Structure 1
Amino acid sequence: MDAPFGPGRAPLTGWCGWDAGMSSHETGQRTERAPLTVAALTSGRHAPSPRFRVRQYRVPLAERGVTLREYCPFVSQHILLPGLLNRVSRRYLPPWALMQMTLNILGRVPGVLGARRADVTLIGRSVLPGLERAVHLLPRPRVLDVDDAIWLSGHNSEQTAGRLARNVDAIIAGNDTIAAWYRAHNPNVHVLPTPVDTTLYTPRPVAAPGERVARRPITIGWIGTDGNHPNLDLARPAVEALVRDRADVRFLAISNRRPPHWAFDDQRLVFRYWDPARELADLRDMDIGLMPLHDSAWSRGKCSYKMLQFLAVGIPAVASPVGMNRDVLAADDVGLSAATAVEWYQALDRLCADDEARLRKGLNGRRLIERAFDTTVFAERLAALLRRVHAEVPAARRG
């Protein structure tokens, strides 16, 4: 998913159009620290990971003397084939696989050249699918950023992911599960969850005293890509039953594709295509957010970002107690957990019936995001980490 055009967007000067190298005068803050330039090699303009783990940092890092330039391929490495062809494994379509690999390699050339002009190379989690050995073409120090259990998927098998981990100078992990796996391959691992821009993700405006507000249905919402539709289906029996049982409830799903198995009617069960221009409005249209997850090794590597988005806009979450979801739920009274169809129904029914509880948990969630997951909080830690890694690699071994 691409980034919305929020306030403070950086000039279009990088290969991907993102350059955080603004002056202290432009950011409105002064920094006396030595300047540092970071070349961020990401998987594409429309990939969720760089949107939240790279571009959100452009202004706060600039305020700390760190210039962040992003380089992503001009053609997405995840480009899809049309229709049913997309379901065919790439190994059965050699010409397509060869073309995709060629475009991926060519698309990386500007990033390799840009990295040679930078002080630190930041490598996105899926920048080099099938090309992990080529990491040696990138100058040191090299920092790998990972926010999923990529050793369980596709080209990123345990062997290739481990090889890549051993050939970087530091690893930034999105949660403790990811960090634990990578520490077996590299001792220099740091946990840095995905941050939330609290100046962009804000609660919907509250009605002024005396202002008449039209009664609206209680909206249970979910947002995510089509790869997460199987997770959404975990909550489907409970959501459909609750919509049948309560006339004041509706369900809203936001995705790049229409989830199968759901009987959307545009009234009580509503589907909207994801649109960066209205993502915030869609989130604010919800009263309760869903984050269902299958209890699997892959899910335990998830960084709970949908849940953090819900909390940032001031709505409680009902989530599977899996991986980082469990940690966020334990951090404060911000929602409810659900592991079975009965628990999903009971949790949602409980929140739908209690306006005060929804408001209280939503407010707690917003406060949790502000103090523990805000972009500015993590920007200070990221800037310090990048400077430390740069200092630890001798000048003679860089480049």
Structure 2
Amino acid sequence: MNVALLGQWRDRPSFRFRALQYLPYLETVGHAATIIEFSPHLWGRLRQYSQLAKFDSVFIQQRLLHPFELAWLKRNTRHLVFDVDDAIMRKSDGSPDSRRMSRFRAMCRSANLVICGNQFLADETRVHTSKLEIIPTTIELNRYPSLSSKYESLVNIPNPLLTIGWTGSRATCRYLNEVFPVIAEFPGQVQVKLIADDLSNCDLKLLQDVPYEFIRWSPETEIAAATTFDMGIMPLPDQEFTRGKCGCKALQYMALGIPAICSPVGMNVDLIEPGKTGFLARTAGEWREAFQQLIASPKLRAQVGIAGYRVVSEQFAASTWAPAWLNAVFPTTQSSTPS
């Protein structure tokens, strides 16, 4: 059977984590996939939709279509799967958006199945359709380095300057401004490493005397660059848009055995058991306390990092969720993953 995977662009993290990383599992059970990046032009997209009739299933990752586009796509689609891993029905500040909500409602009602990345998104979707399934964002652990010997060196070789790391985008780097003043309280103890496409929305002056390094994000270097983190952060405001976040940053840190400090928003509260598999910090005082504990104790960093890795390997590995994803995309088949 054949599926068309439609996304904004191939390297977009949500498209890779929510669809493309399942390609090996799909091919192993004898299915085929065609990756289609949305044309930037309306007529180009309409031509793309006209070619979808030959596919058994069409998977759309996080795109709200104009009603005319949706009608054209639907008439050429046998089985439509709509994947959502952000609160795209709202503005990025969490406020309502009638146009987005109208298109989201239409997408949900037109789809044969909506795949939601967390419970919050499922609750938003259930208002419009009962045809939904929760499949969390997952990690393909084969792409990540082994934890062997990493923590032995951490415990036995003191590091005079620990690295607080963050990975994200221009759209989310503004959230760093709430935690930068706290990090600035640890000069001579930490440095900051930021992996992103652009940092223009954050105020690096807030770090004061704490040194920082900017690494331009690319899919080829994102994992290697993050392996040097001693702890990873994911600050978020608590509002209707961010509650739709599916914890991708936290999962990446945890897959590398890096202790994660995250705001208790969205999927983060399901991923992290505070003090054991990571840290949750809402206030400046809670961020400060988490940093103090991890800076002071290499052993704690190792314990929390290893525990976080186990959460990913046991509950959020791509191999664990591949059968559910395949059955959602090809509902008439029984899919299994390689051993």
**1:251 equivalent in alignment to 2:189:** no
CA contact 1:141–1:390 (8 Å) conserved in 2: no
- Could you tell me which of 44, 59, 62 is aligned with 2:24? 59
**1:285-317 Cα shifts (integer Å, max 9, x gaps):** 101010111000000000010000000000110
Q: 2:137–2:246: 8 Å Cα contact kept in structure 1?
A: yes
Please, which moves more after superposition, 179-188 or 128-137?
Answer: 128-137
Match of 2:82 in 1: 144
Letter of the 1:221 partner, please give it: G
Taking every aligned residue pair, what percent have the same amino acid on both sides?
27
Q: Distance in 2 between matches of 1:277 and 1:235?
A: 28
Q: Which moved more, 1:36-45 or 1:176-185?
A: 36-45
Matched letter for residue 127 of structure 2: A
Letter of the 2:34 counterpart? R
- State the distance in 2 between where 1:349 and 1:129 align: 49
- Per the alignment, residue 187 of structure 1 pairs with 130
Q: State the Cα distance separating 1:275 from its structure 2 match.
A: 2.7
Matches of 1:315 and 1:129 in 2, distance apart?
41
- 1:231 corresponds in structure 2 to 175
Q: In structure 1, what is the equivalent of residue 55 of structure 2?
A: 118
The structural deviation recorded for 1:383 is 1.4
Rounded Cα–Cα distance in structure 2 between residues aligned with 1:208 and 1:143: 42
Amino acid at match of 1:138: N
SS in structure 2 of the partner of residue 233 of structure 1: helix
What secondary structure, in the 3-state scheme, does the structure 2 residue paired with 1:381 have? helix
Corresponding pairs, count: 325
Q: Are residues 1:240 and 2:205 paired? A: no
Structure 2 residue identity aligned to 1:315 = I
Amino acid aligned to 2:60: I
SS of match in other structure, 1:310: helix
TM-score by length of 1: 0.75
User: Residue 312 of structure 1: which of 251, 255, 259 is its match?
Assistant: 255
* Contact 2:327-2:333 within 8 A present in 1 as well: no
* C-alpha displacement of 1:340: 0.9
Name stretches of at least 5 consecutive residues in structure 2 with no aligned partner: 92-96, 335-339
Preserved CA contact (<8 Å) 1:147 1:303: yes
Q: Report whether the alignment pairs 1:175 with 2:140.
A: no
- The structure whose Rg is larger is 1
Shift in CA distance, 361/104, structure 1 to aligned 2, threshold 3 Å: farther
The one-letter code of the counterpart of 2:78 is R
Which protein, 1 or 2, shows the higher relative CO under an 8 Å CA cutoff with sep ≥ 6? 2
* Partner SS state of residue 241, structure 1: coil
Cα distance in structure 1, aligned partners of 2:119 and 2:151: 43
| Partner residue in 2 for 1:330 | 273
Q: Secondary structure of 1:57's match?
A: helix
Flag the 1:346–1:143 CA change in 2: closer, same or farther, 3 A.
Answer: same
Q: Following the alignment from structure 1 to structure 2, what is the Cα–Cα distance between the partners of residues 104 and 361?
A: 49
CA RMSD of aligned residues (A): 2.7
The C-alpha deviation readout for 1:112-151, integer Å capped at 9, x for no partner, is 40x2111111112116357444442331211111111111
Q: How does 1:207-226 map to 2 (within 5 A)?
A: 215=159, 217-226=161-170
